[in-house]
Each structure stands twice: as C-alpha cells, then as structure tokens.
Amino acid sequence: MKYDHLKNQDSAVFEIVEREEKRQNEELELIASENYVSPAVLEAMATVLTNKYSEGYPGHRYYGGNYIIDDIENLAIERVKKLFDAEHVNVQPLSGSPANAAVYMAFLNPGDKVLGLKLDHGGHLSHGHKVNFSGRLYNFVQYGVNIETGIIDMDEVREIALRERPKMIVAGFSAYSREIDWQKFKDIADEIGAYTFADIAHIAGLIAGKQLKNPVPIFDVVSTTTHKTLRGPRGAIIMCKEKFAKQVNSAVFPGMQGGPHDHITAAKAVAFGEALKPEFIEYTKQIILNAKAMAAEFIARGYRIVSGGTDNHLMVVDLSSKGLVGKEAEKALEKIGISVSRSTIPNDPNPPMNPSGIRIGTPAITTRGMKEEEMKLITSYMDEAFMNKEDEVKLAEIKLKVEKMCNEFPIPTK
C-alpha cells in the first residue's frame, strides 16, 4: 500500500510501518495464527467507515446515519451464512476472546460448570485456564489428549461429562493437529443436556474451503476469528441456531461491547467474499498438503510431532529429542528470518514461558504460493538452525537462503 499522507505527517510511525513491511517480505511466517490479507482487505480497513458509530444492529441502531452501514453488515452476514451454512450470524465481535466471552455470557451464569480442553494439551486460554476470565468466572473442568497418541480420547470426554454434568461442552483448540469429531461431542452433550460450543478460530478457513468437517449445522453455537486460515482482518464472528439469536446478539451488544468497528466489518465482508471463490478451496487444500509434507520431513529428521502428524494447518514439534526447548528454538529461527511460536506439549515438564515444543503453521507461506518441495527446504533450514544455534556465521548463511526463497515467492499484492 501507499502511505503518502502518513509519510508526510508522521515520519516516525511511517518508518516503523515500512520496516515491518520489509520484515514481512523478507522473512517466513510460520506462526499458525498468522496470514497475509489481500490488498482488498487492507484497503477496506482503511476506508471512511472507521468514522461511523453504529451501536445496535441493522435496522435497530442507537445512532442516525447508519442506513449505509446496515448494508455492509448485512452483506457480511449473508456471506457467512453461505460459507458455513449458518442460521444466525453476528459479525460484530472485535476479537476471538471477546467473542468467546459473549458466548459464555449468552448461555451461562457465573459459576456454571463448563468442560473444555486443557491449555497444555492444545486448548486456548479462553477455554477455562485459571488465569483467564473464563477460568475465573466459570467453573471449568477439563479434558485432555491421550498421552501416548496425542489425540483427544472421546471415551474419556464422555466419562468426564457424565461425572461432572457441565452445562456446556467446549470443542476447539489453538494447538491440536487432528480433526475433531463434532458429532461425537454433540452426542455426549445431548446425553447430559449440555450446550455445545465450537471454537473454530484456527480452522475456519479450512472448513469454509471444504477441507474439514463443519460443526455449524451440528452445534448450538460456534465462534471464530476472521484472520488465521480465513485470511481476513483481525476480528471475530459468532454463529448459532436461530433460536439462540436474541441471546447471542444481546451478549455481544450491549453485553460485551459498544459499537462495532465498521471498517473491519467491511474488511470481513471482503474476506468472506474471497473465501466463497473456487480458488479458496484450492488454497485451503494446499495448506493441508504443505502441513503434512512439513510434518513428514520433521519426523524423517528425528523430531516427534505431537499426535504423530497433522490433519489441518498446524503441528506441535516436540524438541526434547534434540536437547532443545521452545524459547531457544524460537530465538534461533528468528535469527534466520523464520517466525514460530513456542508451545507446550501434553504434560510438559517445562514452564509455559519456555516449553518443550514449538507450534508451526502453513497458512501464510501457502498464501505466498509455496508447495511441498518448499516445505522440505524450510524444514531443512530450521533443522540446520537448531543444530547451529550458537554459530552466528552459519545462521547468517541460512538467513540468506531464507531471503532468497522469500524473493522467489513474494507476498501477493494483487
């Protein structure tokens, strides 16, 4: 994008933006929750829609002058309904955790019991961790993965659910590489009369691209961010059965927030429109092919992947066999121009700030057009960096290889 006005008015901010743009172009993004939005999405975020306040919903606003804003919000809603076969959609949540907070507010009272996935087994902070609002306001009990297989044990989920009788069961993750059996979760919830809540923030794009099963027609309520694999702006949406529409809307506004960010709603609409195109299906198919290729290459090089592989866009690499921990691996990769996030492994013996693994994802590098052969090369660069983490000369050599690859696969600008 051009930033002529910013450059002339505030050179300090312009210089920082310019440096970050350069970094993104010259480095590889392997953080599973990050991606590159299209120029059209970027432009939508920079529109005059940011000037408007629109508390309320289309046709029922608390401010005047919203008849055009209603059009963009309705357009975003209709596109989501087509993408996910949703009965009701709220496109106003500002981000993932606030969306999850609104879901809990809509269906629960403080102190109600909820069943969610443990954080160190691949869950999210907002799925009941004790330091998060979810764990402080609600009585969460938690399920995990089988330590041997790294896969969610649905028999154990049912056993815990029957024993604890939660009011809601949460299915979803931030670091789990296998497909979820939504119907089994639904069957367990029905057995005890619990609500079903799916957090598909990481895999929404893969579901929209018809690569993974869709929980929206099955579950009571589903939330997702609009970035990550969906490749839209930072934000979130909530989808639910029509019978829950009023309580979900009330929980978002006025329950959790005031006016939505209308320029972001426009950018969401653009991203949803892109996801409805046939080429998005091919994109999401390649994300998974790339993740499988990278996981296989790590395994071939002697690393353990939690669960033994991946069905989606991400993997958690256990570094224990190489005598490494997450923080030093992350720093070594940063020196060669590769970004990852450190990650716990199930029952991690190391502390959360320096866990035993790293989480890797392929959405952003797939957006650049990279395929299976590039995944093998990238994995070799990472392995080489780990083995030479104290050798600054060697790391500088690998960084040049990474820059060369980035130049061959530039971030799309059209």
- Whether 55 is catalytic is yes
Q: Which of 37, 1, 61, 78 is nearest to 269 (CA)?
A: 78
CA distance 216 to 353: 34
| Element (DSSP H or E) covering residue 363 | helix 363-367
Q: Which of 143, 186, 195, 225 is catalytic?
A: 225
Catalytic residue among 82, 234, 285, 301: 234
Token couple for 270: 């653009």
Residues 6 or more apart whose CB falls under 8 angstroms from that of 5 comprise none
Q: Which of 18, 53, 87, 389 is catalytic?
A: 53
Give the H/E segment covering residue 140: strand 139-143
Annotated active-site residue 167? The verdict is no
Q: Name the residue among 322, 380, 329, 381 with its Cα closest to residue 355.
A: 329
409 near 370, Cβ under 8 Å? yes
Per the annotation, the verdict on 413 as an active-site residue is no
Residue among 18, 34, 43, 55 flagged as catalytic:
55
88, containing H or E segment: strand 88-90
Q: What SS3 class is residue 358?
A: strand
Q: Is 147 exposed, middle or buried (0-12, 13-18, 19+ CB in 10 A)?
A: exposed
Q: Which of these is catalytic: 158, 186, 228, 368?
A: 228
Tokens describing residue 256: 């959790």
Kindly tell me the sign of the dihedral angle through the C-alpha atoms of 18, 20, 26, 32. negative
CA distance 314 to 305: 10
- Name the burial class of residue 161, with classes exposed (0-12), middle (13-18) and buried (19+) by CB atoms within 10 angstroms of its CB: buried
In the set 29, 73, 120, 199, the catalytic residue is 199
Helix axes 372-387, 326-335, angle to 10 degrees: 110
Catalytic annotation present for 22? no
Rg (CA), the chain: 22
| Amino acid making up residue 65 | G
Q: d(Cα 188, Cα 261) in Å, to the nearest integer?
A: 37
CA 19/CA 26 separation, integer angstroms: 11
Positions marked catalytic: 53, 55, 199, 225, 228, 234
